[in-house]
Structures are given as C-alpha cells and as structure tokens.
Amino acid sequence: MAFERVGVVGLGTMGAGIAEVFARAGLRVLGVEADAEALARGRSLLEKSTARALDKGRLTAQEREAILGRVTLTTSREDLREADLVVEAIPEHLELKLRLFADLDRICKPETVLATNTSSLPVTAIAAATGRPGRVVGLHFFNPAPVMRLVEVVRTVLSDPGVVGAVEGLAERLGKTAVTVGDRAGFVANRLLLPYLNHAAVLLELGVATRDGIDAVMRQGAGLPMGPFELLDLIGLDTAYEIMEVLYDETRDRRHAPSPLLRELVTAGRLGRKSQGGFYTGEPPQPQDARSSGVRTFDVAGPGADELAGRLDAAGFKRSGEAADVVLRLGDRPVVEHAVRLRDPAKLVGVRLHGDRVAELAVTALTSQEAVAAASDLMKVLGITPVPCKDRAGFVADALLLPYLNDAVRMYDAGYASVADIDTAMRLGCGYPAGPFETLEAMGLERVRDGLRALYAEYREPAFAPAPLLDQLVVAGASAFPRS
Ligand SMILES: NC(=O)c1ccc[n+]([C@@H]2O[C@H](COP(=O)([O-])OP(=O)(O)OC[C@H]3O[C@@H](n4cnc5c(N)ncnc54)[C@H](O)[C@@H]3O)[C@@H](O)[C@H]2O)c1
C-alpha cells in the first residue's frame, strides 16, 4: 500500500501544517477547503510557515519552492477521487465529520484510506459512517504539525491491520514517531494531559494556591515546560473544555467533568491566547519585594533543617528557637500537627523545597499573615520562588503530578498502551522532559504510592487511590515498570 497522492481536507491550524508535513516528505498533496476565502487563508498559513522555516535556515529557498510546488489547493472535494490517503482536519464536530466521511466514501476510489485528525471524537463512529470501515483510522498530529514529532495512530475494532501497518509506515516516512492505540476518548496524550489541567483549575478554584503559584510550582518545581494555566491559554480554554466533555461522556469520572471555572471563562469569551486572554490577561507581574516583612529571626525543623539554617544564617538571619519571627517545618506532608505543638502555632509555615528554584509554603488554618510574609522573604533572599499554598495533602506539586502518574499506570495496566508508548506520547506530544513512567521511577515507586495514599485519605477521590499495579510493584520491591 503506497501513499503518494494524499488529500488534506480543512487547511486551518492543523490541516495546513499536515499538508506541509506531507509535502516536505515528497508526497503530492491536494488541499481542500470549504470556500475561496478559507482556501486563501490556508495558502497563506502554508506560505508563512515555510517562510519561517526558510528564515530559520531549516529550509533552503529551493526546498521551499519544491514543497509549495507539491501542494495543489482546491475547493472541490470531487478532486480527491484518485487520492491514496485523505486526512480530515475540519472542526471538531461529529456531525460535520460524519457527513464529510460519507461524502469521501462516495467520492474516493475503493482503496483510498481515510483518516481523521480528531483529538477526541470516536473514530469508530466516523469509520461506521462509511462503507469501508476497515480503511478508516485516526491519524492524530500535534500542534504545530511540522514541529511536533508524535502522531497517534488510532485503530478501531473495525480497522484492517494492513491499513494500520501502512499508516504507521507512512508516519515513519514523515519523520514522525507513531504510537498506535485503540479508540478511547483522548487517546494517550490528551487522556493524561487534560485531567491534570482540569485538576489545576479545580485547585485554583478551591484556593489551594494562586494561578501564578501553581504555574511556578509546575514549571520550576516539576520541571514542565509550562504551567497548567499557561498551557490552557495556549491550547484554548474552549478546546480544553470540549475535550473534557468528551472524556467525561466516556468515563463518567467526575475528575473529567470540566471545572466550573473553565466553563465560566469560556462563557465569558476568555478563551486564552486566541481571544482577550484566558487565565492570563496580560497584566504585569506583581513586584517581588524581598524583606518587606522585616523578618530577622527564624527556627527550622524537619529533614534538611540544619542545611537550610546554615544558608539563612549566612544570609544574616538568626536561628532563635520558638521565639523566632517564623518557624519553618521542612517536608512534603501537611504541617498543622506540628503547629499545634508550638506555643504560638500562628508562626509555623511548612516548607517543601524543590531544589533551589521554588518552595511550596504550607499555610495552616492557624498560620498568621506575618509568618507567611516572613517565610516568603526568607526564601526570596535565598533566590527561591515562594509559593504559599493551603496545608493540604500533596500541596500543589504532588496533588497535580501524582494522580497523573497514577492515571498512566492504570492506562498501562488496562492494556491500552505500553510503558514505552505512554512515555513517548507524553514526551513528544506534550514536550514533557520525561514520560510518566520515567518520572515515577525517578521519584521512587514507594514515594509515589505513599503520596497517592495521602491524597486519597484527604480528598477521598477514588481515582487518587494508588493503582493496584503500583501497589503490587512496591510490595514486590520493584523499582521499575516492565518494559518488554
Ligand atoms: N488545534 C490543535 O491544537 C489540534 C491538535 C490536534 C488535533 N486537532 C484537531 O484537528 C481538527 C482541526 O482543528 P484545527 O484547530 O485545525 O481547526 P481550524 O478551525 O483551525 O481549521 C478547520 C478548517 O477546516 C475548514 N473547513 C470547515 N469545514 C470544511 C469542509 N466541509 N471542507 C473543507 N474544509 C472545511 C475551515 O475553513 C478551517 O480552515 C479538529 O478535529 C481538532 O480536534 C487540533
């Protein structure tokens, strides 16, 4: 099954990029748009994207000409008759896609493979709208398609294995890494990413920490390329909302129900970068004024206390026991039990350090504003970003990270995708520095299991209970997941 002539229907954000990817790999591309105006927009997207590549030295002028020369644009769907493969990238509405696929089935020769770039709609339903369900697959590119290396190939129970194999081969020819999975809402990357983003919105709404605090912890503490609210603004809150709805429809897991805050912002037209802002509206960052609290003395306890005391001492602060301005308690667990043992519980602030970059400051129901300000100043003096948060299990980082890792374990244990494929999907599809299993193994299976137990005990959310497989591996003393 050779793919030489390919069609792309819909030349918006994704379609124009997908057409470019095919043309770069030497395939002849027929791009189809709804009308002349949209076609002109599609052409300009292609021209701009290849011009950028030329500017950056990633393409020569000759290569660019050749790429553009391989793309023919039309508003006539009927021209797709002889295509070997057609990839659909029209808006994410099932009705629209079903109508298009029925039409493509009528137009295209019987051997043509039909693929959808849908992020969340059921590929099986789209396949069933045609008389060739065995030749219909999902081919899910990531944005921007010419840059992102992952494609998720989605096979349904109706897909012909030969077709799936041929599409995987094509992905390789395009220079992409294919991860092949079954037809479940969100596939791998969105299924793991979106619930995490939604959970961040829930924590914001619960007042566990601020928007900037949560973003700072996930960027500087967990090492992700962006904080969840920055990423939501990039993806588009409406898009995220729609995917959450589809996930929820399939799973009925309440964590997949879009957070009320997300709904409110979408209704208000705050969709992210594409509108007048989403979570961020372009306001200038708050000035970070170190030492405004006038803190002079501190005490500190917990693992690593002496080292932190040494650094604060070197910075000119005095360790002076319980009478100090603020009492720090290092660790990654809630600290209120330590607070109540002090003569003045209002002085206690929990501190979870993430390297030398960021510190979550756990604020109990008894902590005074003065103590929070003092602890923040001490961190700033050491060059560490302070992030005050409520004294809850997992604070911010673990509350967001551990359920995501647990979801990955459950996904693997359900036989949906391999450990390697899940890691690859998150690294290449979301730009994470490591996949969830790599992160889990680096953190230590037992620590993750115990952190999940603590989260479960506090929030009583069934999905936070450690996946049985994770628990078993810990009991068995394993430090890694099976990768065969
Ligand atoms: N935007 C992303 O980050 C992203 C990532 C992966 C997958 N996807 C999926 O890709 C698909 C397209 O998303 P997008 O963001 O590119 O949307 P978009 O709105 O940017 O582009 C859709 C294009 O389809 C065209 N179109 C609409 N009806 C058409 C028809 N009947 N015939 C031909 N063209 C038609 C529109 O004119 C528009 O140019 C969706 O299924 C989406 O879920 C999007």
Phi/psi region, residue 385 (left: phi>0; alpha: psi -120 to 50; beta: rest), is beta
Secondary-structure breakdown of the chain: helix, strand, coil percentages, each rounded to the nearest 5:
50, 15, 35
The rounded distance, in Å, linking the Cα atoms of 173 and 181 is 19
Relative to beta strand 85-88, strand 113-116 is: parallel
The rounded distance, in Å, linking the Cα atoms of 345 and 320 is 16
User: Does residue 293 have its Cβ closer than 6 Å to ligand 1?
Assistant: no
278: which 2 tokens?
Answer: 């989403």
Element (H, E) at 471: helix 468-475
Alpha carbon of 261 to ligand 1 centroid (Å)? 26
201: which 2 tokens?
Answer: 């919105």
Alpha carbon of 17 to ligand 1 centroid (Å)? 11
What tens digit of pLDDT does each residue of 65-112 get?
A: 999 999 999 999 999 999 999 999 999 999 999 999 999 999 999 999
pLDDT for 285: 73
Alpha carbon of 155 to ligand 1 centroid (Å)? 21
pLDDT for 283: 82
User: Does residue 204 have its Cβ closer than 6 Å to ligand 1?
Assistant: no
Q: Which residue puts its alpha carbon closest to atom 27 of ligand 1?
A: 90
User: Does residue 118 have its Cβ closer than 6 Å to ligand 1?
Assistant: yes
pLDDT for 52: 95
pLDDT for 381: 95
pLDDT for 357: 95
Lay out the sheet containing 5-9: strands in order across. Answer: 71-74, 28-32, 5-9, 85-88, 113-116, 136-141, 150-154, 177-181
Residue of 119, 120, 197 to mutate, ligand 1, most atoms within 8 A of C-beta: 119
Residues identified as active-site:
119, 140, 152, 190
The rounded distance, in Å, linking the Cα atoms of 78 and 76 is 5
pLDDT for 2: 87
280: which 2 tokens?
Answer: 């961020």
Q: Which residues contact 224 (CB under 8 A, 6 or more apart)?
A: 218, 432, 433
Q: 249-254, long-range: CB within 8 Å, 24+ apart, which pairs?
A: 249/185, 250/184, 250/185, 251/185, 253/195, 253/463
User: Does residue 116 have its Cβ closer than 6 Å to ligand 1?
Assistant: no
CB 154 within 8 A of CB 123: yes
Peptide bond before 482: cis, by omega within 30 degrees of 0? no
261: which 2 tokens?
Answer: 């805050």
List domains and CATH numbers for the chain: 5-181 (3.40.50.720), 189-267 (1.10.1040.10), 297-390 (3.40.50.720), 397-475 (1.10.1040.10)
Could you tell me the end-to-end alpha-carbon distance of the chain, in angstroms, rounded to an integer? 29
Q: What is the DSSP string of 100-163?
A: HHHHHHHHS-TT-EEEE--SSS-HHHHHHTSS-GGGEEEEEE-SSTTT--EEEEE--TT--HHH
What tens digit of pLDDT does each residue of 112-123 get?
A: 999 999 998 999
From the CA of 100, give the closest atom in ligand 1: 31
User: Does residue 34 have its Cβ closer than 6 Å to ligand 1?
Assistant: yes
pLDDT for 274: 85
CB 130 within 8 A of CB 136: yes
Alpha-carbon separation of residue 474 from 224, 331, 456 (angstroms)? 26, 22, 17
Residue of 8, 11, 14, 193 to mutate, ligand 1, most atoms within 8 A of C-beta: 14
Which residues of the chain carry a pLDDT beneath 70? 287-291
Lay out the sheet containing 348-354: strands in order across. Answer: 318-319, 297-301, 326-330, 348-354, 358-363, 385-390
User: Does residue 190 have its Cβ closer than 6 Å to ligand 1?
Assistant: no
pLDDT for 483: 85
CB 70 within 8 A of CB 46: no
The rounded distance, in Å, linking the Cα atoms of 236 and 265 is 11
